[in-house]
Amino acid sequence: MWARWLAACLLLLVSAGLMAGEQEFAVERIKLVRDIAQLTRASAAETGRPEINPAVLAAMARTPRHRFVPIDQQHYAYHNRPLPIGYGQTISQPFLVALMTDLLEVKPGDRVLELGTGSGYQAALLAEMGMQVYSMEIVGPLATRASQTLAALYPRGVEVRHGDGYYGWEAHAPFDAIIVTAAASHVPPPLVRQLKPGGRMVIPLGASFLIQQLVLVEKAADGRISSREIVPVRFVPLTGEH
Amino acid sequence: MPTLPLLSIALISCAALGLEILLMRLFSIVQWHHFAYLAVSLAMLGYGAAGTARVVLGARLHAHFSQIFAVSALLFGLTAPAAFLVAQQVPFNALEILWDARQWLWLTLQYLVLFVPFFFAAFCLCLAFSHFGSQAHRIYGADLWGAAAGSLLALGLLFILPPQRVLLVIAGFALAAAGLAWPPPRHQVGYVLLLAAMALPWVIPDTLLALHPSQYKSLSQTLLVTGAKVKTEKYSPLGQVTVVENPRVPLRYAPGLSLTATREPPPQLGVFVDGEGPAAITRFDGAWEPLTFLGQMPSAMPYQLLQRPSVLVLGAGTGMDVLQALYYEAAVVDAVELDANVAALVAQDNASFAGQLYQLPQVRLHVAEARSFVATSSARYDLMVLPLADTFGTASAGLHGLAADYLHTVEAFRIYFCQLKPGGMLALNRWVQLPPRDLIKLAATAVEALVLEGVTQPARHLALLRGWQSATLLVKQTPFMPREVAALHDFAESQAFDLEWAGGRVAGAMPHHRLDRPYFQEAFAALSGTAHERADFYRRYKFHIAPPTDDRPYLYHFFTWRALPEIMQLKERGGLSLVEMGYPVLVATWLLAMLFGTLLILLPLWAARRRAMGTRTASQRRRVFAYFSLLGMAFMLLEMAFLQKFVLLLGHPLYAAAAVLTTFLLFAGMGSRFSVRLSVKGRRSPTLWPVVGIVSLGVGYLTLQPLMLEAAMGWPMLQRLALGIILIAPLAFCMGMPFPLGMARLAGEDIEMLPWAYGVNACFSVMSASMATLLAMEIGFSGVVLLALGLYLATPFFYRTQSADGRYS
């Protein structure tokens, strides 16, 4: 009998601990979202976006980033910084994730292709916003881990596939938006084909832990392709301009 | 009374310098090349600590000199490989260093682990100096000669053995030193150690020695992809070259391919140097249709203006730019590649995959350093191409910031212009970084070179084509004509690229790839101004974009201290990518070394103040400190500056490193042996003549070197090498004297100060090795030479003061 009592007490304690932990994470998450909203206003001139779409911020406030990082990094999950997730990959800085998601200009029900699932956080955020996300990851263990985490949190809305994303995901094309988080020397021609007219593609460029600029590729209604390079910070390289 | 173990001393110095060079290589493979400076500062820490230990332990070591010397040598041999294996287990991530404070702890731990072998090596030398002080000139001579052999040995072995195996050979040298010095009656221990020294490099299995490169290096990430496997691996002191093939997910490399391209590149092999890359060997079976991507990158720009051109590719690498020239029906392509291993990948190992590219009748492969090839070539070209040699990530993180680059200097551009046919052009391919850095720096370099060639409106000779990710800068010998501008404009429109600048004005079309401000047009307009306006523009730009010269050849160095506070404030918004990583990391490792090194110099002053230095005033101690620290700094600053200067003369960084290090150390060793003739009784300042010699020769070289370089550039290699040795030998001979003269004097008057003085000298000399690079970025190599000569000039003052009152102070 006493053993049952002990087990029940332990279970209660662990649950209480977890709930307290989850509550703590939720508080940190809200604070992070507030910080991002503030930082966005400071970078409005450069990014062309005076504020992040409230739907993106609301989704961020709900998406548990700590579930997508290794346990030893959970303490930093709501710090506005990139984190290592193993296999030489990182989960991007939250400010940049918010900006990239905002640049996609997606609405609920849109189909989004993600190349480079990584931790799965970006896909989770899009799923939280009501998109149908198709995500491809070339590194097997990362694909498995992200797939499991996403399946537990978002049983519908995200499909993860382990494989080469160069040829996109023809079966679900065309896409309203594409996000290419895996480094590439060029945009694969099949991806441009799989982007809907009026669709948008976002490509972050830079080294691990250091995204330098974002490239927004737009496909006009007539199929014409153009791009915009976005430096996420206000940094005028020339001093004392006239 | 034990005998002076000169051979063991030489072997230990040989192994210690070999280890230093090898660690630079190993750090380049497992981390990034700027961490190579860590190896240099590690040695400094070892020498400082050894001096401390010897002073703290005091004279009681004398009774057991032979045993302690031999055991120290043995520990050096054992810890050299062990420390590296342990250090590999430390989870240090260089890329996180600005995000995560814990990385500093890991870096410090790695640092402390790797310093251990240097400590034992230096401890042997400290013991020898303090025990045989009167023979300091012989010890110093053996030390320098051993080090000379060590530099040659390490460079030579790196051609024939994997670097981790070289580590064991070096450890074997240390064991041999221990074996030779092992005192009687236990001779058998010595024999066992000699046997172990010979066996060690061959008995340790590869699995134990495996290198663990950073998981963030391109090669590590590529090998995680299903189907990827290493096809070939080659090594040399220039780098570890790895070829990766993946039949399931083939590499597809086409930098900056137009967004309008409809066809992907054919399968390629990935080539990585020190884990960085990839560069691609493209499959070529004689059919041009699969290679249409070569006409859809910004690098195709110059071919829109040239018919069947003669092309020179400087840094041909894996041959993509050669293939592009052939795609545009080039009449002749001279492909110049520095690394014979990389050239062989295309010419031999994968020749059939690459379509016998380097065997085609139009192509001539030259394994040579690009700049000296141009300078000595009699051929003239329609087009010279400087390819895109790094990855976007490497370029954007500023990981090459500390690398001296003589291909992109004002002087180099002037040489290129001389080798162009009338109307010929130079094409420079780069990634588009925002805010712009290297592209503007290259344009500025071209403008200054054109001005020196007598061009009055240099901006009319420039054209810049920008894609969404890469760009090509064309520098033409003559101004761009309106029909050429029109042709470039048509090409840009067909591929949805943006012609930012052509023939002295903004091209003006509606951009395909919009920027938040017209960075490039603003910069090129500024470069169109007068010399004064250009200088003002360089000064006002927040990145370092002043044109590189042979005296400050740092193309990739953009860091400015004044921009740092602003960038750090932008950290939360992703602004850290604006920091060039190499420079602050060098400063940080240097500060770390300074901190520990200084502690280790000051510590003995405190710990053994009564025993070792109790009879001296603080001022007298400062003078001993000043004399030996100045010598240490000056010697190394001169050596490093000459090493860089001779890269141009010898046309190859490896030949320069081997020739300069060996000649310096060899002749300094001779000077050391000769110095005993100067230190005769009654001579007040025996250091004066060597210092006068050093300063006169140094000033002479500074004055005459540009002329000598120009005259000797066309000479055969052996003659240039002979000239290099003739130039260095007398200088090094003089530089070898002041240190043993000081040591001999100390030995005669207070032998207990010898190890401390040795530690101070070694500490400052190693510190100056990394400081030389920082200084060269600010004041140029000539400035570094002048500074070193100034330091030398100050040394007789401290030597003289020591003897002025009749006491050694």
Cβ of residue B510 closer than 8 Å to a chain A Cβ:
no
Would you place residue A141 in the very low, low, confident or very high pLDDT band (cuts 50, 70, 90)? very high
For residue A41, the one-letter residue type is: R
pLDDT in tens, B602-653: 666 566 555 555 555 666 777 888 999 999 999 989 988 888 888 888 877 7
Predicted local distance difference test score (pLDDT) of residue B404 = 80
Predicted local distance difference test score (pLDDT) of residue B2 = 66
Distances (CA, A) of B92 to B106, B485, B763: 5, 51, 25
B262 vs A164: CB contact, 8 Å cut-off? no
A84 vs B248: CB contact, 8 Å cut-off? no
Q: How far apart are the CA of A94 and the nearest CA of chain B, in angstroms?
A: 9
Q: CB burial class (10 A; 0-12, 13-18, 19+) of residue B213?
A: buried
A139 vs B224: CB contact, 8 Å cut-off? yes
Q: How far apart are the CA of A26 and the nearest CA of chain B, in angstroms?
A: 20
- Interface test with chain A among B577, B579, B580, by most A beta carbons within 10 Å: B577
Q: CB burial class (10 A; 0-12, 13-18, 19+) of residue A42?
A: middle
Cβ of residue A166 closer than 8 Å to a chain B Cβ:
yes
Q: How far apart are the CA of B60 and the nearest CA of chain A, in angstroms?
A: 50
Q: Which of A217, A231, A238 sits opposite B434 (nearest CB)?
A: A231
Q: What is the mean pLDDT of residues A70-87?
A: 91
Contact (CB, 8 A) for B522 and B457: no
Which chain A residues are within 8 Å of B433, Cβ to Cβ? 212-213
Predicted local distance difference test score (pLDDT) of residue A242 = 39
Say if residue B364's pLDDT is above 70: yes
A226 vs B394: CB contact, 8 Å cut-off? no
ipTM of the complex: 0.85
Contact (CB, 8 A) for B431 and B396: yes
Q: What is the mean pLDDT of residues B527-554?
A: 92
pTM of this prediction? 0.87
> At B124, is the secondary structure helix, strand, or coil?
helix
Which chain A residues are within 8 Å of B95, Cβ to Cβ? 207-210
Q: Which of B445-459, B500-514, B560-574, B657-671 has the highest mean pLDDT?
A: B445-459
Contact (CB, 8 A) for A102 and A52: yes
B468 vs A229: CB contact, 8 Å cut-off? yes
For residue A201, the one-letter residue type is: M
The more confident residue out of B702 and A207 is B702
Q: What is the mean pLDDT of residues B248-273?
A: 90
Predicted local distance difference test score (pLDDT) of residue B657 = 77
Alpha carbon distance B726, B694 (integer Å): 14
B573 vs A95: CB contact, 8 Å cut-off? yes
Say if residue A5's pLDDT is above 70: no
Contact (CB, 8 A) for B571 and A228: no
Residue tagged active-site, from A43, A92, A119, A147: A92
A235 vs B226: CB contact, 8 Å cut-off? no
Q: CA Rg, chain A, in Å? A: 19
Which chain A residues are within 8 Å of B263, Cβ to Cβ? 189
Say if residue A16's pLDDT is above 80: no
Predicted local distance difference test score (pLDDT) of residue B559 = 86
Predicted local distance difference test score (pLDDT) of residue B306 = 94
Nearest CA in chain A to B261: A189
Alpha carbon distance B316, B320 (integer Å): 8
Predicted local distance difference test score (pLDDT) of residue B455 = 93
Nearest CA in chain A to B396: A206
Q: Identify the weakest region by mean pLDDT among A80-84, B75-79, B746-750, B800-804.
A: B800-804
Would you place residue B405 in the very low, low, confident or very high pLDDT band (cuts 50, 70, 90)? confident
Q: How far apart are the CA of A223 and the nearest CA of chain B, in angstroms?
A: 10
Would you place residue B393 in the very low, low, confident or very high pLDDT band (cuts 50, 70, 90)? low
Q: Identify the weakest region by mean pLDDT among B111-120, B296-305, B561-570, B613-622.
A: B613-622
Q: Which of B225, B394, B516 sits opposite A138 (nearest CB)?
A: B225
Contact (CB, 8 A) for B729 and B662: no
CA B229 to chain centre: 30
Q: Identify the weakest region by mean pLDDT among B53-67, B85-99, B662-676.
A: B53-67
Say if residue B21's pLDDT is above 90: no
Predicted local distance difference test score (pLDDT) of residue B329 = 95
B577 vs A212: CB contact, 8 Å cut-off? yes
Which chain A residues are within 8 Å of B259, Cβ to Cβ? 187, 192, 217, 225, 227
- Looking at A37-88, which runs of residues are DSSP E strands? 83-86
Predicted local distance difference test score (pLDDT) of residue A46 = 65
Q: Identify the weakest region by mean pLDDT among B38-52, B429-443, B522-536.
A: B38-52
Predicted local distance difference test score (pLDDT) of residue B608 = 59
A239 vs B542: CB contact, 8 Å cut-off? yes
Q: What is the mean pLDDT of residues B211-233?
A: 90
pLDDT in tens, B643-688: 888 888 887 776 787 788 888 888 988 998 888 887 765 566 788 8
Give the rounded percent of residues in chain B with a pLDDT score beyond 90. Answer: 41
Cβ of residue B231 closer than 8 Å to a chain A Cβ:
no
Predicted local distance difference test score (pLDDT) of residue B771 = 83
Which chain A residues are within 8 Å of B518, Cβ to Cβ? none
Say if residue B301's pLDDT is above 60: yes
Q: Which of B262, B434, B573 sits opposite A43 (nearest CB)?
A: B573
- Interface test with chain B among A93, A95, A209, A242, by most B beta carbons within 10 Å: A209
Which chain A residues are within 8 Å of B537, Cβ to Cβ? 238
Would you place residue B95 in the very low, low, confident or very high pLDDT band (cuts 50, 70, 90)? confident
Q: How far apart are the CA of B205 and the nearest CA of chain A, in angstroms?
A: 26
Q: What is the mean pLDDT of residues B393-398?
A: 54
Which chain A residues are within 8 Å of B516, Cβ to Cβ? 45-46, 48, 229-231
Helix H or strand E segment including B422: strand B420-431
Contact (CB, 8 A) for B299 and B429: yes
> At A86, is the secondary structure helix, strand, or coil?
strand
Cβ of residue A48 closer than 8 Å to a chain B Cβ:
yes
Say if residue B376's pLDDT is above 50: yes
Predicted local distance difference test score (pLDDT) of residue B578 = 75
Contact (CB, 8 A) for B503 and B482: yes
Say if residue A4's pLDDT is above 80: no
Would you place residue B808 in the very low, low, confident or very high pLDDT band (cuts 50, 70, 90)? very low
Predicted local distance difference test score (pLDDT) of residue B394 = 55
Rounded to 5 degrees, what are φ and ψ at B322? -70, -45
Nearest CA in chain B to A190: B262
B574 vs A138: CB contact, 8 Å cut-off? no
- Interface test with chain B among A40, A201, A238, A242, by most B beta carbons within 10 Å: A238
A187 vs B433: CB contact, 8 Å cut-off? no
Would you place residue B346 in the very low, low, confident or very high pLDDT band (cuts 50, 70, 90)? very high
Say if residue B82's pLDDT is above 90: yes
Predicted local distance difference test score (pLDDT) of residue B787 = 96
Predicted local distance difference test score (pLDDT) of residue B767 = 77
The more confident residue out of B571 and B165 is B165
Cβ of residue B97 closer than 8 Å to a chain A Cβ:
no
Q: Identify the weakest region by mean pLDDT among A232-241, B304-313, B377-386, B774-783.
A: A232-241
Say if residue B534's pLDDT is above 80: yes
For this structure, is A92 an active site residue?
yes
Predicted local distance difference test score (pLDDT) of residue B365 = 95
> What rounded mean pLDDT belongs to chain B?
86
Say if residue A18's pLDDT is above 80: no
Q: What is the mean pLDDT of residues B570-590?
A: 73
Q: What is the mean pLDDT of residues B445-469?
A: 94
Say if residue B804's pLDDT is above 50: no
Nearest CA in chain B to A207: B393
Contact (CB, 8 A) for B413 and B445: yes
Nearest CA in chain A to B542: A237
Predicted local distance difference test score (pLDDT) of residue B185 = 75
> What rounded mean pLDDT belongs to chain A?
86
Predicted local distance difference test score (pLDDT) of residue B134 = 78
Which chain B residues are within 8 Å of A181, Cβ to Cβ? none
Q: What is the mean pLDDT of residues B169-192?
A: 87
Say if residue A1's pLDDT is above 60: no
Cβ of residue A239 closer than 8 Å to a chain B Cβ:
yes
pLDDT in tens, B757-773: 877 887 787 778 778 88
